[in-house]
Structure 1
Amino acid sequence: MTKKTVLYIEDERQIGEWVVRNLEERGYDVVWLESGDEASQAAEQCDAAVLDIMLPGLDGFTVGKRLKRDRPSMPVMMLSARTAIDDKIEALKFADDYLTKPFHPDELAARIEVMLRRSAPAQPEVRKVGHLLVYEQQNRIEDADSGEEIALTGKQFYIFMYFLRHIGQILTKEQIYEAVWGEPYIDGDKTLMVHIRYLREKIEQDPGNPTIVETIRGIGYRVRG
């Protein structure tokens, strides 16, 4: 896992040293400030922020709102010894979490981890088939060796996706044609065969000796997992 950096703003030195030590022992880098004056600049190198509400100068509410304005995707947690529900409601109008002092370091670390997990950008689901990387949700196929995108026509893509939905299965020409074209297959029709030939020319490293779309003589085709 990539090491994460936490911006921590706390003016009470004893508490600050304790929290920084605990977070660093858990593998985080910590940027510790004792006021919010330099928060926006410091936040540029950080993945999350943990702010005390009671700060000298700018209060934590103001600092937190500015951070969210500048970095909307960065998770922010507010800390406070105040237990008034109004403070919590005010904080949660912009912050991602609120923790009341005193707190256990395990709980603080767990809450930071949850915030980071929630804020992490979703990774596109990728499927590897031979030398191909298939991003099904994005309708995109790449050559894993070159990194180049492979452009398929609509029918070619639908045929290939049908193979992937039935990976490892031997599929008849009738099954494939009727699933992709949505109409009955007529015996002797060469349409599917032509489309698969062109598909192989785009996705196979050696179209004359295909290793992805296999021909099963007398039956149809198969894509192995």
Structure 2
Amino acid sequence: MARLLYIEDETDIGTWVLKDLTERGHNVIWLKSGEGAENHILDVDAVILDVMLPGLDGFSVGKRIKKEKADLPIIMLSARTGVEDKVEGLNFADDYVTKPFHPDELAARIEVLLRRYQKNEDVLQLQHLTIYTKDLRIINQDSGKEIQLTGKQYHLFNFFLRHLNQILTKEQLYEGVWGERFIEGDKTLMVHIRYLREKIEKNPGKPTIVETIRGLGYRVKL
């Protein structure tokens, strides 16, 4: 079954939801706040996220999660029934469930989301690379070998794949991958792109996957 990240600060609700989902065969990680959520998002299939949390609210936590992993489905849980709250949640999340809810309803919505994302989980063919998008495994079809990326190379290439065919500026890339403002003259991004090209390009000196768009930035296109 699925690996789920469940973020809920109310002990009573969290206890019975955890028990119910575990009995249905799911592997559940339960956090009582959004702190540390980013440490789990690469290891789970979906997120169940309460709106009212200590510290950062669920909307802020959910947006951060989607920024890091856009293809990770999120179900928002909330006692708020107002249209404006639902609209705010559905601007980034995939579903919005109002409290109180029946455990069968939550389980059914989880299954629907998992099926939807599994159907959309394609194997991407990018020139000589076969990319398994769920875990970003990259196979060089010329050699048949898997290409191993470092952590930052992984996040950089994943950011390109999430924005296929778009020209990305240095500022967008640096903020998206490093989470910091780009300072003109900083060579960090350029160095990481060079190392990434050395691993994925047939000819790193004449790259055709990570293209340089002169005066604008970089692009990966199908």
Which TM class, normalised by the smaller chain length? 0.5 to 0.7
Deviations along 1:122-154, one digit per CA (max 9) or x if unpaired, are 578xxxxxxxxxxxxxxxxxxxxxxxx9xxxxx
Name 2:94's counterpart in structure 1: 96
For 2:84, which of 83, 86, 95 is the aligned residue?
Answer: 86
Gaps of 5+ in 2: 123-140, 142-222
Name 1:111's counterpart in structure 2: 109
Separation (CA, whole Å) in 2 of partners of 1:121 and 1:66 = 24
By how many angstroms is 1:4 displaced? 1.2
Separation (CA, whole Å) in 2 of partners of 1:84 and 1:23 = 27
Answering whether residue 47 of structure 2 is matched by residue 49 of structure 1, we say yes
Amino acid at match of 1:119: Y
Separation (CA, whole Å) in 2 of partners of 1:83 and 1:56 = 20
Deviations along 1:16-62, one digit per CA (max 9) or x if unpaired, are 01000000111100000000011111222110000000000010000
Name 1:12's counterpart in structure 2: 10
| Alignment: residue pair count | 125
Amino acid at match of 1:30: V
The share of aligned pairs that are identical, in percent, is: 58
Amino acid at match of 1:78: M
After TM superposition, the structure 1 = structure 2 runs for residues 17-166 of structure 1, keeping only pairs within 5 Å, are: 17-122=15-120
Amino acid at match of 2:30: W
By how many angstroms is 1:93 displaced? 0.3
Which structure is larger by alpha-carbon Rg, 1 or 2? 1
**Does the residue aligned with 1:43 lie in a helix, a strand or coil?**
coil
Name 1:196's counterpart in structure 2: none
Separation (CA, whole Å) in 1 of partners of 2:14 and 2:60 = 20
After TM superposition, the structure 1 = structure 2 runs for residues 197-208 of structure 1, keeping only pairs within 5 Å, are: none
Amino acid at match of 1:39: A
Alpha-carbon spacing, 1:123–1:73, altered in 2? closer, same or farther (3 Å): closer
Amino acid at match of 2:85: D
- Following TM superposition, the consecutive aligned residue runs of length 4 or more in structure 1 with deviations greater than 6 angstroms are none
Alpha-carbon spacing, 1:79–1:122, altered in 2? closer, same or farther (3 Å): closer
Q: C-alpha root-mean-square deviation of aligned residues, in Å?
A: 2.0
Amino acid at match of 1:82: R
Q: TM-score, normalised by structure 2?
A: 0.54
Name 2:170's counterpart in structure 1: none
